[in-house]
């Protein structure tokens, strides 16, 4: 029998009796029904409250279990892994800060990217400023601006502003220094890979001849034919090549002197020369940028391999997750290096195309319009 029914019987058994005529007892049914209904509702409410209390207790137990499980999971997945610092340095290998510098640390990036990238004309300016007050120039009465014009005229004659120019006699670079002279000047073999060294060596060798002979025409003759030939003939040797050489550089000097009013003046190259200089500079820088990037990528792949090899040796879930995350980050870093390499290639291609267009423009056949 249900609790509500038992309660109703209890009420009925205890109900007050009302006396009537002849002493026969009677029951107040309405009052009994109301009292029984109230008792039944109270019993049902108590049952519901007891059930909810049991439910809360069980939920509390489940909540405690869930919290404990979460705490255990957090303990496994949070905190710091001691090896992360080692990964950044990679145990004495190439550090991440070196392999993936935020700013491009490739030594040739300055000649390829940015608004202030270095051009061959700017390298010439830098060289002219470095030696503009050389004692030989002072004695010859040549000021820094004039030296810049003479020196730029020499570069135009020697190489046409082509960094990789090579003569049948093995003279190389912007100033066409032969290997023996490069060794004498202390730039061999580095000058093969550095246009600034080519310019520096050429300027020093020219100034050495100016010190010996006192005038720029004789210094130019000695630069071309050798100081012994100038000494032998007591002036410019009777060699057609050397005589033409001095005349052409003098003409270059006069043309630049009309354009250059300060040692820092830029934009003095003719359009055709500027295209050649730009293509040469970008191609040379792009080649060396690629070589340097290839070495960086090789080191980066070595870092990635070392990281992946650590994963099977992890002792906790946290370490395994950290290593996997770090490996993914390493791949993203490598992708950034590759994108920079692609950008360098695009620069080289653009410079090459400009050079081809200049060559087409120089050929009258490509400009002729047929009716």
Model pTM?
0.72
CA nearest to 90, candidates 295, 303, 257, 337: 303
The band of 28, judged by pLDDT with boundaries at 50, 70 and 90, is low
C-beta separation of 39 from 4 below 8 A: yes
Q: What pLDDT score was predicted for residue 32?
A: 52
Angle between the N-to-C axes of helices 240-257 and 144-159, in degrees from 0 to 180, rounded to the nearest 10: 130
The percent of residues above 70 in pLDDT, for the chain, comes to 73
Of the listed ranges 92-106, 147-161, 302-316, the one predicted with least confidence: 92-106
Of residues 71 and 301, more confidence is placed in 301
Alpha carbon of 9 to those of 14, 289, 360: distances in Å? 9, 101, 118
Handedness of CA 150, 156, 161, 166 (dihedral sign): negative
Q: In angstroms, how far is CA 94 from the centroid of its own chain?
A: 16
Q: In angstroms, how far is CA 39 from the centroid of its own chain?
A: 83
pLDDT in tens, 258-277: 999 999 999 999 999 999 99
Catalytic residue among 121, 146, 158, 319: 158
**Annotation marks residue 158 as catalytic:** yes
pLDDT in tens, 65-97: 666 666 665 565 566 565 555 666 654 455 666
Checking if the pLDDT of 57 tops 90, the result is: no
Q: What pLDDT score was predicted for residue 328?
A: 86
Domain boundaries along the sequence of the chain: 84-106+278-367, 120-265
C-beta separation of 101 from 94 below 8 A: no
Handedness of CA 112, 88, 300, 323 (dihedral sign): negative
Mean pLDDT in the chain? 83
Q: Which two tokens stand for residue 125?
A: 């300016």
Handedness of CA 199, 176, 282, 257 (dihedral sign): positive
pLDDT in tens, 172-191: 999 999 999 999 999 999 99
**CATH number corresponding to 120-265:** 1.10.530.10
Alpha carbon of 312 to those of 126, 299, 307, 317, 328: distances in Å? 55, 22, 10, 11, 16
Contacts of 333 (CB under 8 A, 6+ apart): 96, 99, 100, 300
Rounded-to-integer distance, Cα 335 and Cα 341, Å: 10
Region 310-331 average pLDDT: 82
């Amino acid at each position: 029998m249900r609790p509500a029914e038992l309660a109703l019987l209890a009420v009925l058994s205890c109900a007050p009796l009302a006396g009537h005529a002849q002493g026969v007892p009677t029951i107040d049914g309405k009052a009994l029904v109301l009292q029984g209904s109230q008792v039944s509702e109270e019993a049902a409410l108590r049952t519901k409250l007891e059930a909810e209390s049991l439910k809360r207790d069980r939920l509390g137990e489940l909540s405690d279990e869930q919290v404990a499980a979460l705490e255990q999971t957090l303990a496994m997945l949070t905190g710091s892994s001691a090896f992360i610092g080692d990964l950044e340095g990679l145990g004495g290998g190439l550090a991440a800060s070196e392999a993936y510098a935020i700013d491009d640390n490739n030594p040739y990036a300055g000649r390829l990217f940015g608004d202030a990238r270095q051009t061959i004309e700017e390298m010439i300016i830098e060289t002219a400023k470095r030696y503009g007050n050389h004692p030989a120039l002072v004695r010859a009465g040549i000021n820094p601006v004039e030296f810049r014009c003479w020196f730029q005229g020499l570069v135009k004659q020697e190489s046409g502003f082509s960094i990789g120019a090579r003569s049948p006699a093995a003279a190389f670079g912007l100033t066409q220094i032969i290997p023996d002279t490069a060794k004498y000047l202390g730039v061999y073999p580095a000058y093969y890979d550095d246009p600034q060294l080519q310019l520096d060596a050429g300027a020093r060798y020219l100034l050495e001849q100016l010190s010996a002979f006192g005038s720029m025409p004789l210094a130019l003759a000695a630069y071309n034919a050798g100081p012994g030939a100038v000494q032998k003939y007591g002036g410019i040797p009777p060699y057609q090549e050397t005589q033409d050489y001095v005349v052409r550089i003098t003409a270059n000097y006069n043309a630049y002197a009309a354009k250059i009013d300060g040692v820092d003046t830029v934009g003095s190259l003719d359009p055709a020369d500027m295209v050649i200089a730009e293509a040469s500079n970008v191609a040379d820088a792009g080649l060396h940028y690629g070589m340097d990037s290839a070495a960086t990528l090789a080191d980066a792949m070595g870092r990635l391999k070392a990281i992946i090899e650590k994963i099977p040796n992890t002792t906790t879930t946290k370490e395994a997750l950290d290593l996997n995350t770090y490996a993914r980050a390493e791949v993203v870093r490598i992708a950034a290096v590759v994108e920079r390499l692609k950008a360098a290639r695009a620069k080289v291609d653009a410079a090459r195309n400009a050079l081809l267009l200049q060559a087409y423009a120089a050929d009258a056949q490509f400009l002729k319009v047929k009716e």
